[in-house]
């Protein structure tokens, strides 16, 4: 048992070292866990393998269509176009379509987010992926095609040093940022898990003795409010004056009516109810912010990225 506790303690210390707090433009602090360097490398390898498979399938398809013996200039141009689009737009396409994820990142539960708490923009995605050309593809192209293109051995050596310096850059800063992240203002993190309803019940059964929350809210009940109401509720909870207590009673009854809370809450438990609702709503909004969605207030039904 002691060894398990030590392992859990070591695991939690590692997670805490990788935790960062981002203050969003709405003033909501969001805690994120940095993606491990090994996981990032594995995600890139998965994506490169997918690209390789797509390239092989495309070449076979073009060869079959144009004829094995007469692929000719047209078929060769098609192959070059496929290679060009895969190399330049694979990462951009998926990170835009899946809000900061590629198939490799999705497989390993990683996500690209804005380092300053804003929704991930297309400009940031473009910038970080254009840098990938300079970081990886260009030096690798020089390395592996040097003899065929007449590039000198010295140039190949400098290309190798350049590639290794940029590949090792995430090891040289505490946030594991590569050159593309530094330029685009992005961060690669573990995808946040939304803990709601039944999931919260499971989380409460942790071996360290955490208790089940007294009040459990559904996703619909949490979607009733946005960032503005969260900040207002936080201010109410911080107000410990008698007047603040009266306001919390009024606010609690209003929230219960708004979300359709089925059971009456005694006045002595109202602070516990509001605190639990605040904590769960905050987790919900933080998760939405990292997914590129932002609910400004209870009137914001679109909940779109801003």
Same domain, 214 and 167: no
Residue 251: per-residue pLDDT: 87
Tell whether the torsion through CA atoms of 222, 227, 232 and 238 is positive or negative.
positive
Residue 71 has, within 13 A of its CA and on its CB side, a CA count of 13
| Phi, psi of 256, rounded to the nearest 5 degrees | -60, -40
Residue 305 domain flag: no
Same domain, 65 and 156: yes
Same domain, 163 and 241: no
Residue 145 domain flag: yes
Residue 304 domain flag: no
Which regions of the chain are under pLDDT 50? 1, 194-210, 303-306
For 46-61, give one letter per residue: b (16+ CB within 10 A) or e. bbeebbeeeeeebbee
Same domain, 181 and 230: no
Burial class (CB in 10 A: 0-12, 13-18, 19+), 191: buried
What is the C-alpha separation between 92 and 86, in angstroms, rounded? 10
Of 173, 190, 207, the last residue of a domain is 190
Same domain, 47 and 166: yes
Residue 170 domain flag: yes
Residue 10: per-residue pLDDT: 52
Same domain, 186 and 202: no
Same domain, 182 and 213: no
Residue 167: per-residue pLDDT: 72
Residue 42 domain flag: yes
Q: Please indicate, yes or no, whether the overall pTM of this predicted structure exceeds 0.75.
A: no
Same domain, 58 and 167: yes
Of 190, 219, 252, the last residue of a domain is 190
Structurally, the chain folds into a number of domains equal to 2
CA R_g for the chain: 25
Residue 299 domain flag: no
Same domain, 185 and 201: no
Distances (CA, A) of 158 to 155, 161, 168: 5, 5, 15
Domain enclosing residue 222, as ranges: 197-290
| Phi, psi of 195, rounded to the nearest 5 degrees | -100, 105
User: H/E element holding 82?
Assistant: helix 72-97
Q: Which residues pair with 111 in a beta bridge?
A: 189
Same domain, 227 and 205: yes
Among 139, 136, 135, CA closest to 155: 139
Same domain, 204 and 185: no
Of 167, 190, 213, the last residue of a domain is 190
What are the residues whose beta carbons fall under 8 Å from the beta carbon of 305, sequence distance 6 or more?
A: 119, 292, 293, 294
Residue 28 domain flag: yes
| Phi, psi of 22, rounded to the nearest 5 degrees | -110, 130
Residue 218 domain flag: yes
Same domain, 50 and 169: yes
């Amino acid at each position: 048992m002691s060894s398990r506790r030590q392992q859990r303690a070591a695991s939690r210390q590692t997670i805490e070292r990788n935790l960062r707090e981002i203050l969003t433009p709405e003033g909501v602090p969001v805690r994120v866990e940095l993606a491990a360097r090994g996981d990032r490398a594995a995600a890139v390898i998965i994506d490169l393998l997918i690209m390789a498979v797509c390239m092989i399938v495309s070449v076979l398809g073009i060869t079959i269509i144009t004829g094995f013996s007469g692929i000719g200039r047209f078929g060769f141009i098609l192959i070059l176009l496929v290679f060009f689009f895969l190399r330049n737009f694979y990462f951009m396409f998926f990170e835009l379509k899946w809000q900061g994820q590629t198939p490799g990142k999705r497989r390993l539960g990683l996500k690209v987010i804005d380092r300053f708490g804003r929704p991930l923009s297309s400009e940031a995605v473009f910038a970080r992926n254009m840098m990938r050309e300079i970081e990886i593809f260009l030096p690798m192209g020089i390395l592996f095609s040097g003899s065929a293109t007449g590039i000198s051995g010295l140039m190949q050596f400098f290309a190798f040093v350049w590639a290794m310096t940029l590949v090792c850059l995430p090891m040289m800063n505490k946030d594991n940022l590569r050159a593309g992240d530094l330029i685009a203002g992005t961060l690669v993190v573990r995808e946040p898990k939304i803990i709601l309803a039944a999931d919260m019940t499971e989380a409460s059964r942790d071996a360290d003795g955490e208790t089940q929350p007294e009040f459990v809210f559904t996703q619909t009940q949490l979607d009733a409010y946005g960032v503005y109401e969260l900040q207002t509720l936080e201010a109410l909870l911080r107000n410990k004056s008698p007047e603040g207590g009266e306001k919390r009673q009024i606010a609690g009854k209003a929230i219960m009516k708004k979300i359709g809370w089925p059971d009456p809450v005694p006045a002595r438990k109202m602070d516990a109810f509001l605190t639990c609702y605040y904590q769960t709503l905050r987790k919900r909004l933080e998760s939405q912010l990292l997914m590129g969605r932002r609910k400004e207030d209870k009137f914001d039904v679109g909940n779109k990225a801003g």
